[in-house]
Structure 1
Amino acid sequence: MSFAHDTEIALGEAAALVNTLSDDGDSLETRAGLDAFLARHPFSGQVTGDEEELRTVRRLRERLRAFWSVDDRDGAAALVNALLADCATSPYLSKHDAFDWHLHVTRPEAPLAMRIGAEAAMGFLDLVRADALGRLRTCAADDCSDVLVDLSRNHSKRYCDTGNCGNRANVAAYRARKRTLA
């Protein structure tokens, strides 16, 4: 099953936000870290640039990580509903920049964390409706705890996008095969 473009973007951004706190540290420790995240994952609407905005985005990150731990659709639906309620959603269609008509679920003047949370909640909502929570995974590398969203056709994605986990695993497997042949 394929998802709408905005759903895929929202899920990817949610995973990227969760992965800002990884085994390598916290890339959202400073305002500069949030600015770097927003440069890679731009959100329409205002950005205040203050410390409170940074704190609320960091709190949201913890809430989003919970989606990768939920075991069933009922639990995920409860998380989605709570996030939608807390983000004061107000859906409307928007057309801006290079994007054709698409759904926004918060106003552009809403706080950044609310806009990110609402968009993520809508992405998770589609996973619940499609009974596709299995697409939320943790990286298969032994030394990585980053999360990923498997949007591949055959549901085969195993490694995160944050490092070289897949490459390292493939090299290790290759070397192991070479050792057994030698």
Structure 2
Amino acid sequence: MTAVDLARALIGAQLVVRGAGGIIIETEAYGRDDPASHSFRGPTARNAAMFGPAGHAYVYRSYGIHLCLNVVGRPGEAVLIRAIEPRIGLGIMQARRQGRMPLCAGPGRVAQALGISLTDNGAPFDGGQLSLVLPPAASPADIVTGTRIGISRNLHQPWRFGLAGAAGLSRPFPAAAPF
């Protein structure tokens, strides 16, 4: 499954990390041949988890501040979790975010609310510390698409996906063009 296919498939999935989580409502795909991807220049110590087994976490620090959680697909491909609808362990997530809102809109907020750390890098989403349950395939009408956010290369790719009508997205999606 390509990163783009995985990013779509993760919309509506349940993500739980050590008793806190919710429904994934926004993702971004990053492929191996994608100049915006950490894997574009090949394996390094920092991106090694991206080249590891599918269904494992790739965690990195963005701008030296925020951690970001990704789900590894094919070697060198991963999907960034941009937003979740919080449902499980709300009190835990609110305490981790020190009451700041929005709670889980944006990859840094998601990681902070879920208690993600660099030690989660390479960990499996196997139902232990990290759990990921895919939903039945969503209808294409339930998924909105747009370009990725916060990148400086390969800007045109429509590899950002969201749950149509969901509150709590990191940023709104552009309105669909009229027919």
Structure 2 length-normalised TM: 0.31
More helix by share: 1
Structure 1 length-normalised TM: 0.31
Higher RCO, Cα 8 Å, sep 6+: 2
More strand by share: 2
- Decide which structure has the larger Cα Rg and report it: 1
